[in-house]
């Protein structure tokens, strides 16, 4: 039994979609969530810069004595997973491998699409992860930066959003994909809108459920699960000043976020 917290981070609110699944899968765990809202968005930045930010946050969370780190951001996973694993002596879980695995298990035609940030698409992290699982699967990628902006600004419905979704997906439809990976942790917040545009022929998957299963298995493997005698604690940090944590958090987590602590991280 280990009652230390799980540390989880994203550039902003998107990581809450992963947190939601973690809470469902392992409700007894204490959580420290970190949103780097001051340096959001990560997607258009150079991967080296994102890596620096991600290492910086991982170091902060490590110093809060977390027992496991979750990189709840595809762009940060693409740029920093290997380095974070190399620098810290606790288990580190990213979101790309679990999403690629689900896609590979789901596709029938072997033609998979992914929408993600520019950084994730350019890193080719999904191509590499999919090829490792099954060399025959073809991956088609599309960067969808506007969707990240909509979600982070709390715009989760409306015709402008739907139009943007469909125009990003059009080139992927032309490739006859039968599975679409939501390769950005912001996108499950608009999953229904994306599903509406995809229709019934395309299965839409996000990595959050698989990621939370990986986390549970890792806690069991290292014998570091919490026993759940006390109500679990959830602590929220952010670097910016985004009151959206409260509204989106309540809507999405189904529980009230009472406090978000603002913190400055110096690099
Ligand atoms: N949520 C992030 C991801 O999964 C990125 C959003 C951003 O900062 O651009 O890639």
109 and 54 in a single domain? The answer is no
Q: Provide the domain limits for residue 215.
A: 6-95+210-262
- Residue 50 tokens read as 């994102």
Listed in sequence order, the residues at least 6 apart from 262 whose beta carbon sits closer than 8 Å to its beta carbon are: 237, 238, 239, 240, 241
47 and 113 in a single domain? The answer is no
Tell how far the Cα of 108 is from the centroid of ligand 1, in angstroms.
28
Judge whether 182 and 191 are in contact, CB under 8 Å.
Answer: yes
Q: Quick check: is 198 catalytic? A: no
- Residue 12 tokens read as 């902003």
Q: Which residues line ligand 1 (CB under 6 A)?
A: 10-12, 14, 40-43, 73-75, 117, 120, 148, 184-186
What stretches of the chain show up as alpha helix (H) in DSSP?
15-25, 47-63, 74-87, 96-106, 118-123, 125-133, 145-152, 159-174, 191-198, 208-221, 244-253
In this predicted structure, what is the pLDDT of residue 267? 65
User: By CB neighbour count within 10 A (0-12 exposed, 13-18 middle, 19+ buried), where does 263 fall?
Assistant: exposed
In this predicted structure, what is the pLDDT of residue 247? 79
190 and 223 in a single domain? The answer is no
101 and 203 in a single domain? The answer is yes
Q: Give the separation between CA 197 and CA 191, rounded to whole angstroms.
A: 10
State which of 13, 38, 43, 57 you would mutate to test the pocket of ligand 1, scoring each by most atoms of that ligand within 8 A of its C-beta.
Answer: 43
166 and 239 in a single domain? The answer is no
225 and 145 in a single domain? The answer is no
Q: Which atom of ligand 1 is nearest to the CA of 42?
A: 8
Q: Which atom of ligand 1 is nearest to the CA of 183?
A: 4
Closest by Cα among 149, 190, 140, 148 to 169: 140
Judge whether 139 and 165 are in contact, CB under 8 Å.
Answer: no
Q: Give the residue ranges of the chain where pLDDT is below 70.
A: 267
203 and 111 in a single domain? The answer is yes
112 and 203 in a single domain? The answer is yes
State which of 8, 16, 41, 115 you would mutate to test the pocket of ligand 1, scoring each by most atoms of that ligand within 8 A of its C-beta.
Answer: 41
State which of 14, 57, 144 you would mutate to test the pocket of ligand 1, scoring each by most atoms of that ligand within 8 A of its C-beta.
Answer: 14
User: By CB neighbour count within 10 A (0-12 exposed, 13-18 middle, 19+ buried), where does 163 fall?
Assistant: exposed
Judge whether 72 and 101 are in contact, CB under 8 Å.
Answer: no
227 and 176 in a single domain? The answer is no
Please report whether residue 21 resides in a domain.
Answer: yes
180 and 214 in a single domain? The answer is no
Judge whether 236 and 64 are in contact, CB under 8 Å.
Answer: no
Q: What is the 3-state secondary structure (H, E, C) of 103-119?
A: HHHHCCCCEEEEEECHH
**CA distances for 98 relative to 36, 169, 242, 252, angstroms:** 23, 22, 29, 21
Q: Which atom of ligand 1 is nearest to the CA of 11?
A: 8
CATH of the domain at 249: 3.40.50.1860
Tell how far the Cα of 255 is from the centroid of ligand 1, in angstroms.
23
Please report whether residue 267 resides in a domain.
Answer: no
Q: Which of 191, 207, 223 is the last residue of a domain?
A: 207
> How many domains does the chain divide into?
2
Please report whether residue 83 resides in a domain.
Answer: yes
The one catalytic residue among 166, 184, 197, 198:
184
87 and 103 in a single domain? The answer is no
Q: Quick check: is 197 catalytic? A: no
Q: Which atom of ligand 1 is nearest to the CA of 10?
A: 1
Listed in sequence order, the residues at least 6 apart from 122 whose beta carbon sits closer than 8 Å to its beta carbon are: 47, 143
Judge whether 38 and 50 are in contact, CB under 8 Å.
Answer: no
pTM over 0.75: yes
Q: 140: helix, coil or strand?
A: strand
In this predicted structure, what is the pLDDT of residue 50? 98
CA angle 204, 256, 153 (to 5 degrees): 55
Q: Give the separation between CA 11 and CA 28, rounded to whole angstroms.
A: 25
17 and 33 in a single domain? The answer is yes
């Amino acid at each position: 039994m280990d009652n230390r917290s799980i540390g989880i981070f994203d550039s902003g609110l998107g990581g809450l979609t992963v947190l939601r699944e973690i809470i469902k899968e392992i409700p007894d765990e204490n959580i420290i969530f970190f949103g780097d809202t001051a340096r959001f968005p990560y997607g258009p930045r150079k991967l080296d810069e994102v890596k620096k930010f991600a290492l910086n946050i991982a170091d902060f969370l490590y110093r809060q004595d977390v027992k496991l780190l979750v990189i709840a951001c595809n762009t940060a996973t693409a740029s920093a997973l290997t380095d974070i694993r190399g620098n810290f002596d606790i288990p580190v879980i990213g979101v790309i491998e679990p999403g690629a695995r689900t896609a590979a298990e789901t596709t029938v035609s072997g033609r998979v699409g992914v929408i993600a940030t520019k950084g994730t698409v350019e890193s080719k992290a999904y191509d590499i992860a999919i090829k490792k699982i099954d060399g025959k699967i073809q991956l088609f990628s599309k960067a969808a930066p506007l969707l990240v902006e909509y979600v982070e600004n709390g715009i989760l419905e409306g015709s402008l959003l739907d139009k943007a979704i469909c125009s990003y997906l059009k080139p992927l439809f032309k490739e006859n994909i039968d599975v679409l990976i939501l390769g950005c942790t912001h996108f499950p917040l608009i999953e229904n809108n994306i599903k509406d545009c995809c229709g019934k022929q395309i299965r839409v998957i996000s990595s959050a459920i698989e990621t939370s299963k990986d986390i549970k298995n890792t806690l069991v493997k290292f014998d570091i699960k919490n026993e759940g005698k006390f109500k679990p604690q959830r602590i929220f940090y952010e670097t910016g000043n985004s009151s959206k944590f409260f509204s989106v958090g309540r809507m999405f987590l189904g529980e009230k976020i009472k406090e978000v602590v603002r913190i400055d991280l110096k690099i």
